[in-house]
């Protein structure tokens, strides 16, 4: 009797597994961490097998299903999303032969960012190194280097103070891609500086500006989320901006220029 019941249980599990293998659901786009650049629309792609019904899409908690231009209904479409950080949730009923009611309500969520153009007439900042006058340079959507400032958005930044008046801590936002901020990528010295979707709550995206005496108004920028003794913004080899032990050498000291007035200003 025991072995017969065991065989029945194993057979039941195998059948259930076989059916589950034929049933799937996922939100293929946007994905967590995606960046969409305006004026492009956000592509919503829902993949379900063998089919789905009762599709509902919510943007930041609001139902936007009827705002989507479905190009391949009901699974793919385009949605106009404003600049900023967003959360998108896609829900649907997927057939499930072994479930009570013969269907299962599925849900998937992605957090992503939409980058808009830098607002016209809004000032930007450029950092100039004490040693060679070069600037922080956004070399890709993942990396930061340093290069001669040519007045292009890639060497222009928005320095946003975190905290109240008088605070010298903030985040460093790209104006070329407004979704991205500088981030320390690891604890180790010599680690290249990266870019990630801006999140002021992350300590590894916070930088403290410390004015160094007798250095012509130049400051070091040390990461708040790492040891202050090993995580200062530094010009490295081959044009790479990295973090290194804070020694206040010329390749670690920066002055911040307001690009609207040309004046040198405090960082945060």
* pLDDT of 6 over the 60 cut: no
Last residue of a domain, one of 115, 145, 174: 115
Confidence of residue 171 (pLDDT cuts 50, 70, 90): very high
Cβ(160)–Cβ(171) below 8 Å: yes
Residue 2 lies in a domain: no
Last residue of a domain, one of 115, 146, 167: 115
Q: What is the pTM of this model?
A: 0.85
Q: Kindly state whether residues 108 and 150 are assigned to the same domain.
A: no
Co-location of 109 and 132 in the same domain: no
**Is pLDDT above 90 for 133?**
yes
pLDDT for the residue 19: 40
Domain boundary among the residues 83, 115, 147 is at 115
- Structurally, the chain folds into a number of domains equal to 2
Span 95-121, mean pLDDT? 88
- pLDDT above 90 covers a percentage of the chain that reads 81
Residues 54 and 108 both lie in one domain? yes
Per the DSSP assignment, residues forming a β-bridge with 54 are: none
CATH number at residue 49: 2.60.40.10
Average pLDDT, the chain: 90
What is the distance, to the nearest Å, from the Cα of residue 164 to the centroid of all Cα atoms in its chain?
25
Q: What pLDDT shows up at residue 100? A: 62
Query: For position 218, which CATH number holds?
Result: 2.80.10.50
Clarify whether residues 133 and 252 are in a common domain.
yes
Range of the domain at 152: 125-265
């Amino acid at each position: 009797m025991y072995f017969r019941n065991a065989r029945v249980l194993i057979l039941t599990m195998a059948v259930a597994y076989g059916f589950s293998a034929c049933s799937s659901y996922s939100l293929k786009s946007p994905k967590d961490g995606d960046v969409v650049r305006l004026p492009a629309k956000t592509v919503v792609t829902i993949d379900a097998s063998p089919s789905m019904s009762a599709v509902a899409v919510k943007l930041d908690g609001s139902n936007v299903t009827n705002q989507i231009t479905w190009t391949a209904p009901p699974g793919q479409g385009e949605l106009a999303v404003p600049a900023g950080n967003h959360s998108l949730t896609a829900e649907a009923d997927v057939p499930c032969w072994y479930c009570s009611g013969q269907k299962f309500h599925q849900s998937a969520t992605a957090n992503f960012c939409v980058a808009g153009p830098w607002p016209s007439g809004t000032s930007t900042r450029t950092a100039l190194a004490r040693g060679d006058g070069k600037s922080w340079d956004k070399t890709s959507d993942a990396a930061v280097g340093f290069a001669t400032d040519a007045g292009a958005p890639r060497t222009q930044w928005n320095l946003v103070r975190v905290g109240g008046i008088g605070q010298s801590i903030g985040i460093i936002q790209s104006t070329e891609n407004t979704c991205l901020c500088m981030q320390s990528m690891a604890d180790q010295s010599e680690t290249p500086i990266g870019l990630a979707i801006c999140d002021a709550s992350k300590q590894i995206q916070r930088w403290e500006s410390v004015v160094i005496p007798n250095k012509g108004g130049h400051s070091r920028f040390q990461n708040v989320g790492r040891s202050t003794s090993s995580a200062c913004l530094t010009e490295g080899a081959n044009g790479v901006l990295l973090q290194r032990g804070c020694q206040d050498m010329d390749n670690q000291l920066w002055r911040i220029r307001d690009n609207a007035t040309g004046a040198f200003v405090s960082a945060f």
